[in-house]
C-alpha cells in the first residue's frame, strides 16, 4: 500500500509517496513583481538585484528562485559531503528534488534540543554554531528517524553547512532516539 503525505514549508512543498519524498520549489511571481515594481519606482532595481541576487527578501529574484536554490544547494551539499546525518538527495532538477522519505522522530522539542546540546558540549542557548541557521538546525520537523538514527531532511541553506561539517558525524553517532510504545 502506497501512503501519500503532503507538507508545506517556506520555500518548498513536499509530497511523500511510499519511501520517496519529492520536494517542489515554490515560485512566487506575484510577490516578485511587487518587489520589482517597488524598487523600479525608486530607480534602484538593478542595484538591489546586483547586490543581493536571490539572497534577500527585498530582491525580486529571491521570490522567484529561493526554492530552486534550496533544492540545488541541498543536492550539491549531499554530493560534496556524503555525511551520514544527511538524508540522501538522489536527484535534483532544480524545480524538484527526490529524497529518501523518513519518519519524524517521536520525541519532544526539549528532548531533541537537550540531546543536541549534550552532544556538541555547549549550552544550546548560547552556542552560535547551532544558531547560524536556527530554522534548519533547531527544529525537530527538519529531521527524520532511520533505523534508530537521526538524519536531517532539510539542509538546503549554506548557513547550516559549517555546523553539519563540524558536528554532523558526532550527532549521527551519538544521538539517542527514544523508543516508542
Summarize pLDDT for 46-82 with one digit per residue, the tens: 666 666 666 666 677 777 888 999 999 999 999 999 9
Cβ atoms within 10 A of the Cβ of 121, count? 9
| Stretch among 50-54, 78-82, 112-116, 136-140 having the lowest mean pLDDT | 50-54
Q: Are 124 and 114 in contact (CB under 8 A)?
A: yes
Indicate if 126 and 97 belong to the same structural domain.
no
12-37 pLDDT tens trace: 999 999 999 999 999 878 877 777 77
Indicate if 12 and 83 belong to the same structural domain.
yes
Indicate if 63 and 109 belong to the same structural domain.
no
C-alpha distance from residue 67 to each of 25, 26, 159 (Å): 4, 5, 15
Q: How far apart are CA 131 and CA 147, in angstroms?
A: 28
Q: What is the mean pLDDT of residues 141-168?
A: 92
Residue 145, phi-psi category: left (phi > 0), alpha (psi -120 to 50), beta (remainder): beta
Q: What is the mean pLDDT of residues 72-95?
A: 96
Indicate if 160 and 177 belong to the same structural domain.
yes
Q: Which of 4-8, 87-91, 156-160 has the highest mean pLDDT?
A: 87-91
Indicate if 43 and 20 belong to the same structural domain.
yes
- For position 30, what pLDDT does the model report? 81
Output the CA angle 112-180-13, nearest 5 degrees.
Answer: 60
At residue 159 the predicted structure's pLDDT band, cuts being 50, 70 and 90, is confident
Indicate if 71 and 2 belong to the same structural domain.
yes
> Global pTM?
0.81
Q: How far apart are CA 16 and CA 103, in angstroms?
A: 11
pLDDT at 1 over 60: no
pLDDT at 44 over 70: no
Indicate if 108 and 66 belong to the same structural domain.
no
Task: Report residue 55 as a C-alpha cell.
Answer: 539572497
Indicate if 70 and 21 belong to the same structural domain.
yes
pLDDT at 165 over 70: yes
Indicate if 76 and 11 belong to the same structural domain.
yes
Q: Please tell me the total count of domains within the chain.
A: 2
Q: How far apart are CA 12 and CA 166, in angstroms?
A: 26
Contacts of residue 145, defined as CB under 8 A and 6 or more positions apart, other chains included, come to: 102, 103, 104, 105, 106, 151, 177
The number of angstroms, rounded, from the C-alpha of 116 to the middle of its chain's C-alpha atoms is 17
Amino acid at each position: 500500500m502506497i501512503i501519500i503525505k503532503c507538507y508545506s514549508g517556506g520555500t518548498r512543498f513536499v509530497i511523500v509517496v511510499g519511501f520517496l519524498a519529492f520536494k517542489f520549489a515554490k515560485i512566487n511571481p506575484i510577490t516578485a513583481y511587487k518587489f520589482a515594481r517597488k524598487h523600479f519606482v525608486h530607480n534602484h532595481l538593478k542595484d538591489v538585484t546586483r547586490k543581493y541576487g536571490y539572497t534577500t527578501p527585498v530582491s525580486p529574484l529571491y521570490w522567484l528562485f529561493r526554492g530552486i536554490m534550496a533544492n540545488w544547494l541541498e543536492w550539491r551539499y549531499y554530493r560534496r559531503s556524503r555525511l551520514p546525518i544527511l538524508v540522501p538527495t538522489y536527484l535534483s532538477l532544480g524545480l524538484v528534488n527526490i529524497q529518501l522519505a523518513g519518519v519524524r522522530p517521536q520525541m519532544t522539542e526539549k528532548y531533541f534540543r537537550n540531546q543536541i546540546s549534550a552532544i556538541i558540549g555547549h549550552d544550546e542557548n548560547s552556542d552560535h554554531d547551532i544558531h547560524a541557521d536556527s530554522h534548519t538546525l533547531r527544529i525537530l520537523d527538519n529531521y527524520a528517524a532511520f533505523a534508530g538514527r537521526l538524519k536531517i531532511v532539510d539542509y538546503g541553506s549554506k548557513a547550516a553547512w559549517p555546523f553539519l561539517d563540524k558536528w554532523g558525524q558526532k550527532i549521527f553517532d551519538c544521538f539517542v532516539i527514544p523508543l516508542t510504545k
